[in-house]
């Protein structure tokens, strides 16, 4: 959880033209996103979570 918050903190929102966000809020309230928060998470998630995914998780092929 600390690593995820750190990744949110270092993410540059200018690259996706989204407003700045509070990483602690994102981590603490991940179950109750609405509107702009949800949109921000969806746009940034690939950049935040891809480095911590395993090879199995990031495979584009369906699991057998």
Cα–Cα distance between 64 and 52 in angstroms, integer?
Answer: 22
Residues with Cβ < 8 Å from 9, sequence gap 6 or more? Answer: 23
Does any domain span residue 33? yes
Looking only at Cα atoms, what is the longest distance across the chain? 40
What domain range includes position 7?
Answer: 2-54
Q: What is the pTM of this model?
A: 0.61
Q: What tokens were used for 15?
A: 């690259």
Instruction: Report the candidate in 28, 32, 26, 31 with the shortest Cα–Cα distance to residue 48.
Output: 26
pLDDT tier at 60, thresholds 50, 70, 90: low
Angle at 23 between CA 7 and CA 35, to 5 degrees: 115
pLDDT tens track for 16-43: 787 787 888 888 888 888 888 888 888 8
The pLDDT of residue 12 is above 70:
yes
Does any domain span residue 60? no
Q: Give how many domains the chain has, as a whole number.
A: 1
């Amino acid at each position: 959880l600390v690593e995820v918050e750190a990744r949110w903190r270092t993410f540059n929102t200018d690259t996706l033209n989204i407003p700045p966000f509070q990483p602690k809020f994102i981590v603490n309230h991940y179950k109750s996103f609405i509107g702009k928060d949800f949109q921000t998470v969806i746009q940034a998630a690939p950049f935040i979570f891809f480095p911590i995914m395993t090879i199995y998780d990031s495979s584009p092929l369906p699991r057998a």
